[in-house]
A = this chain, B = another copy of it.
Amino acid sequence: MTSTSSPDQKPLFDRVALIGIGLIGSSLSHAIRRRGLAGTIVGHARSAETRATAKRLGLVAEVYATAAEAAKAADLIILCAPVGVCADLTREMTQNLKPGAILTDVGSVKGAIARDCAPYIPAGVHFIPGHPIAGTEHSGPEAGFATLFDGRWCILTPVPDSDTAAIEKLRSFWEQCGSNVDVMTPDHHDLVLAITSHVPHLIAYNIVNTAAHLERVTDSEVIKFSAGGFRDFTRIAASDPTMWRDVFLNNKDAVLEMLGRFSEDLTMLQRAIRFGDGDTLFQLFTDARAVRRDIIQAGQDTGVSAEFYKARSLSPDHKKG
């Protein structure tokens, strides 16, 4: 692990522009500097406060109030902004995108990005939508850390005219940020993520909403007794509201399809409960346990419970540093 590239070794990109410096943008800065993947990192953030924080934390060498300025002369431009603003940002940058540069993004929806940003990509610029499957429930430039992408998957969804060499260079970039890389079509990405990410977030948001509007159970009771499972849903439901609104607005079809499946299955379970069908419940609960085992074996989660971490008294104070 090195904090800068060695003097003899040319970094993968001369100039990387992070368009948006929240959880993912700031984590990318940490990961890029960990391996010396860029000669210079510059950035753009819409808010003056984020720009000041990014400078203070050393996340970027230069920070700009517009995406167009940040993109100027960059070899790799990474859109790290909510899906809903990516097309506008791309349009703003069009004039300043350097021929040969790679433009990518980190959004949780790929079909809409591929479709909406494409019109603003000048000839000679390599547009390769991407999505690192990594995150926490925290937002903002202070939430990032270098190891966020380690062992996680990053999906690249090249568009029909994406250049092979550019795809391989971007793959190498993500691998050096710690990720495994997979390549698929934008549409297949959106279907897979609908079930592994979008619907889980939606039902987490939904149960928090349901719990907040009961007449016979108070809000204070919901909070006091949340350790029975509910609090884990609130963790998921604490993610950035703007980002998630844009996900649901931009992956409507796949989300509605998966939600239909979910509701059908839930109705079946509801019926098993109503008629006291313990065997069906037991079998289904046992099958679910096996999926968990597979995820741990695939290195996508640890087998350690959150309560265990609590037991070891790791407090939020440990977070920085």
Contact = CB atoms under 8 A, between A and B. Distances in A.
B304 A309 contact: yes
A153 B300 contact: no
B210 A195 contact: yes
Interface string A286-321: 111101111100101111111111111011101100
Given A196-B228, A248-B281, A281-B248, A309 B307 contact: no
Interface residues of A, number: 118
A301 to B, nearest CB: 5
Contact of A225 (B155, B262, B289): B155
A295 B253 CA distance: 34
A133 B230 CA distance: 11
B288 A234 contact: yes
B202 A269 contact: yes
A151 B136 CA distance: 24
Contact of A300 (B206, B208, B227, B245): B227
Interface string A205-227: 11111111110110101111111
B281 A245 contact: yes
Interface of A: 108, 133-138, 145-148, 150, 152-153, 155, 182, 188, 191-193, 195-214, 216-217, 219, 221-239, 241-242, 244-246, 248-249, 252, 255-256, 258-259, 261-263, 265-266, 269-270, 272-274, 276, 278, 281-282, 284-289, 291-295, 298, 300-312, 314-316, 318-319
9 contacts: A137-B305, A192-B225, A197-B225, A237-B292, A241-B282, A241-B289, A256-B273, A309-B314, A312-B314
Given A196-B230, A214-B261, A226-B295, 5 more contacts: A204-B288, A206-B262, A238-B292, A248-B281, A304-B319
